[in-house]
Structure 1
Amino acid sequence: MKIDLLIAEIGSTTTVVNAFNIKPCPRFVGQGQSATTVEEGNVNTGLKNAIKNLSKNLGVENINYHELMATSSAAGGLKMTVHGLVYDMTVKAAKEAALGAGANIKLITAGRLRECDLQKIKDMEPNIILIAGGVDYGERKTALYNSKLIANLGLNIPVIYAGNIESQDEIKDIFKYTNNELYIADNVYPKIDQLNIEPTREIIQDVFEKHIINAEGMEKVKELIDGHIIPTPGAVMKASKILYKNMGNLLTIDIGGATTDIHSVSEDSDEVSRMLLHPEPIAKRSVEGDLGLYINIENIIEMVDKDMILKRLNINLDELNKLIDNCSPIPNTKEEIELIKLLAFYAGQIALYRHVGTLKKIYGPTGKRTIAEGKDLTQVQYVIGTGGALTRLPNSKLILRDIISSPKDKYLLPNKEVNILIDNDYIMASLGVMSIKYPIEALVLMKKSLNF
């Protein structure tokens, strides 16, 4: 069977392959999956098995594909460290750039690096180190100091500099004779209260694509994948941004087995914008590593309150413990499904409250006033559900509606009457990477999957 494009989503445990025909009319053909084989030393084994499973699902002997792209969160995903000057300014801007690109941030520092910070960098061996600091033509010493220390570590790790443009030549000199491949980006925080994170996001994804073959178990991935490969969370963000341009302000909630990610692409209301203490990016991602429905199931239950879970499910403690012990990544029994539905609600709700901004009352010389901190979601028109839970569980629209409808006065949440959409084909990440080469076709397929 001839297929125009295969897109692999290489996860930490599962590899999914989605098949698409691009011409004459874009169409989602089918899906196959297999266990990821990074830990066995070669991710291609699992990738080939997923393609075989796709053939079986389509009822054909062989798949002849023209092109293969991929997203990946295997081998630890895109591990980064971020280093800036002031936490609420350059550090925050650099962090937003990294998260939006799909990074798994392992270390964030503000100010001068300490010996313990340097040791952490050496121990964790990130895929990319991001250095920022200083507005343009402002403070220079901290970024230069940190760059010298990082250069002296002797690590063979790409470095991105996205700080004060006045220091770029000196930064180039610092890394000139090191093992670090240096990339220069526009300043993520060029002026006070001005974010400029998109150029750095693009460079991060380019560097990831170039260096993914250095990750353990991923060395041979380019033998099969001849197209783009980007971090899976970054692909979901790309898809969200394309939909934003076409549909308007939106929020994507991605509840998975390992993490719960929130992607918002929306503008502030005029009212909230005037109250904001610090600027927020239009496109913002947060990742909650303690809210994975499979990996963190016991943690979520403890966070919520076991007694409440027992009451909602009408079961006793022994029955709950048995469900936890026997729960698989894909729930099978009615009882397992009901438990995961409930935990998906709580995981999504907790993640959303961590992502969204709040209103606060403060007292100053002129008396009491209201300020806003964080991301304003009050202008969101669409809430999109993706990830294994929300695309496969029954009544997932109701779960999403409940997530955003809880009464929390201080939170800048979407309107309760917002439109709810589900990524029914579970292809949002695939379409994000597809959009790099086929943006129009990716948008058509996204809308089909959302029934929009």
Structure 2
Amino acid sequence: MKAYLLIDFGSTYTKLTAVDIENEEILATAKDITTVDSDIMVGFNKAYEKLLEQLNGKDVEFVNKLACSSAAGGLKMIAVGLVPELTAEAAKRAALGAGARVLKVYSFELTLKEIEEIKNSNLDIILLAGGTDGGNKDCIIHNANMLARAGVKLPIVVAGNKVAEDEIIRIFDEAGMYYRVTENVMPRLNHLNVEPAREEIRKIFMNKIVEAKGMKSAESFISGILMPTPAAVLKAARVLSEGSDKEEGIGDLVVVDIGGATTDIHSLADGEPTKVGVDLRGLEEPFAKRTVEGDLGMRYSALSLWEAAGTRKVQKYLQDKSFNVEENCKYRSENIRMVPQTEEEIKFDEAMAKVATDMAMERHVGIVETVYTPMGNVYTQTGKDLMELKYLIGTGGVLVHSKNPKEILKAGTFDMNNPTYLKPQHPEYLLDKTYILSAMGLLAEELPDMAVRIMKRYLVKLS
């Protein structure tokens, strides 16, 4: 039978999914520890052997092998813009949507101190934005000059004021910089245009970054590393939400991805106000939005989760004050491969997951505020209103292995105690039980209709 092999070189595990493209079935899944520090193919080969055992001698021909990767820290970027709340924020959203971990966002004119900071950062790509089309061009040209004079040897995606493009091209050509110019991430005030920048970032990731991360040895076996893993998850979520040419989507949804280092939220919804009399303000929200919370993780970021949440919030979800919250979080941060065994360990992990879901959703969704005016109260919304969202989908180890994944996801829903946060009120709950979302994002690049049908079939409904 003809099949696709879909590979996720994750930061911790390399995960394989074999898909029968004739019968549209998942034949087998397998995983093993990612070995990027030695040879990426060592961990892959171990996972591949497990996959072949599951196939149990079936006559499978892998006609295509596609991969995504977040190994070696994934794609790390900084974003540079003009105004923090506008072009700098737009640049950040473009980078996040491309699957990057955004280490820092810089605004206004770069200083020598900031340039030195950028040079000493462990970065992969710089996204340079600034100014609406026809607006301020001095700032982005200044920043281009600063990067060129400092001899920054990183790929740069230029996505700012189009009036400044010619001068930036001259500056970068004279300095021998590696760069790509694309459309402005904010061509008009408060109007986002992030897809062109995302695509340029993906191309650079495929052509340059993969080789730099020691993954060249994988190229002889696979057809190519198409994108960072988070971008694959967002791609899967988008095609599941919107549908494809022949297959209808399921509508607005959120994916909650709880990992060892971060909690990622992907929302697929326009986020318009659902209540009458609420006015939108602030930067336009992208339909496909991703946020990454680097202080809300189950292992690497366990201590920062405790610091961000506080003891009482964790204890609220534990419903037990006998636990030493700080000690438990510290132990997990120092033992990142810990797998909970006892009831107490499982209970604490699930409380952490609820805290991560709750706080990550608070940071992702919009808020509604009351503004008092001489004409009476006015209600304004900043960000996305997800109160009428249809589906809340969970993925990540703590959810997959939980006996109560629905209870973890419920922590991310609307709470009358914090009514300003526009979280989902009555969603249906789905679980990515077999870790297929990143694989389906890869499959959707070539066979989107099939990817939608498989997700509809394999995502588990939680009752």
Same fold? TM cut 0.5: yes
Distance 2:110 2:326 in 1: 46
Deviations 1:320-376 (A, max 9, x none): 957974774433333322222221111100111111111123345756532222222
- Residue type of the alignment partner of 1:92: E
- Are 1:185 and 2:182 an aligned pair? yes
**Larger deviation, residues 286-295 vs 296-305:** 296-305
Distance 2:58 2:327 in 1: 43
Distance 2:312 2:135 in 1: 52
**Larger deviation, residues 374-383 vs 69-78:** 374-383
Distance 2:322 2:403 in 1: 24
- Residue type of the alignment partner of 1:312: L
Q: Which residue of 2 aligns with 1:339?
A: 348
Distance 1:301 1:193 in 2: 35
Out of 140, 143, 158, the residue aligned to residue 137 of structure 2 is 140
- Are 1:172 and 2:169 an aligned pair? yes
Q: Secondary structure at the match of 2:222?
A: coil
- Are 1:283 and 2:288 an aligned pair? yes
Structure-2 change in CA distance of 1:400 and 1:310 (3 Å)? closer
Q: Which residue of 1 aligns with 2:245?
A: none
Distance 1:332 1:79 in 2: 34
Structure-2 change in CA distance of 1:143 and 1:396 (3 Å)? same
Contact 1:27 1:445 (C-alpha < 8 Å) held by counterparts:
yes
Q: How many Å apart are 1:219 and its aligned residue?
A: 3.4
Q: Which residue of 1 aligns with 2:246?
A: none
Distance 1:318 1:451 in 2: 34
Alignment of 1:80-119 (within 5 A): 80-119=77-116
Alignment of 1:352-371 (within 5 A): 352-363=361-372, 368-371=377-380
- Are 1:38 and 2:36 an aligned pair? yes
Unaligned 5+ runs, structure 2? 243-248
Q: How many Å apart are 1:65 and its aligned residue?
A: 2.6
Alignment of 1:12-27 (within 5 A): 12-22=11-21, 24-27=22-25
Q: Secondary structure at the match of 1:404?
A: coil
Distance 1:324 1:191 in 2: 46
Distance 2:317 2:294 in 1: 27
Distance 1:320 1:261 in 2: 23
Contact 2:303 2:326 (C-alpha < 8 Å) held by counterparts:
no
Q: How many Å apart are 1:158 and its aligned residue?
A: 1.3
Deviations 1:260-304 (A, max 9, x none): 000111113345873323321111111111111122334434524
Q: Secondary structure at the match of 2:387?
A: coil
The TM-score normalised by the length of structure 2 is: 0.89
- Residue type of the alignment partner of 1:254: D
Q: How many Å apart are 1:125 and its aligned residue?
A: 3.9
Contact 1:10 1:71 (C-alpha < 8 Å) held by counterparts:
yes
- Residue type of the alignment partner of 2:193: N
Deviations 1:14-46 (A, max 9, x none): 211111121x22111111211111112x21222
Count of matched residue pairs: 448
Contact 2:278 2:379 (C-alpha < 8 Å) held by counterparts:
no
Q: Secondary structure at the match of 2:298?
A: coil
- Are 1:312 and 2:327 an aligned pair? no
**Larger deviation, residues 132-141 vs 291-300:** 291-300
Q: How many Å apart are 1:108 and its aligned residue?
A: 0.8
Structure-2 change in CA distance of 1:177 and 1:66 (3 Å)? farther
**Larger deviation, residues 100-109 vs 66-75:** 66-75
Structure-2 change in CA distance of 1:338 and 1:115 (3 Å)? same
Q: How many Å apart are 1:215 and its aligned residue?
A: 2.6
**Larger deviation, residues 157-166 vs 309-318:** 309-318
Out of 444, 451, 455, the residue aligned to residue 446 of structure 1 is 455
Distance 1:310 1:376 in 2: 26
Structure-2 change in CA distance of 1:169 and 1:239 (3 Å)? same
Q: How many Å apart are 1:428 and its aligned residue?
A: 0.4
- Residue type of the alignment partner of 1:285: R
Alignment of 1:186-201 (within 5 A): 186-201=183-198
Q: Secondary structure at the match of 2:458?
A: helix
Q: How many Å apart are 1:202 and its aligned residue?
A: 1.6
Deviations 1:106-130 (A, max 9, x none): 1211110011111111111421111
**Larger deviation, residues 256-265 vs 207-216:** 207-216
Structure-2 change in CA distance of 1:376 and 1:150 (3 Å)? same
Distance 1:444 1:249 in 2: 17
- Residue type of the alignment partner of 2:10: G
Structure-2 change in CA distance of 1:307 and 1:352 (3 Å)? closer
- Are 1:388 and 2:397 an aligned pair? yes
Distance 1:161 1:85 in 2: 13
Distance 1:26 1:61 in 2: 16
Q: How many Å apart are 1:172 and its aligned residue?
A: 1.5
Deviations 1:391-430 (A, max 9, x none): 2211212321243143221111112x22111112211011
- Residue type of the alignment partner of 1:371: T
Unaligned 5+ runs, structure 1? none
Structure-2 change in CA distance of 1:155 and 1:323 (3 Å)? closer
Distance 2:28 2:288 in 1: 30
Q: How many Å apart are 1:83 and its aligned residue?
A: 0.5
Distance 1:227 1:319 in 2: 44
Contact 2:314 2:355 (C-alpha < 8 Å) held by counterparts:
no
Aligned-residue CA RMSD (Å): 2.6
Structure-2 change in CA distance of 1:298 and 1:61 (3 Å)? farther
Q: Secondary structure at the match of 2:73?
A: coil
Distance 2:128 2:15 in 1: 34
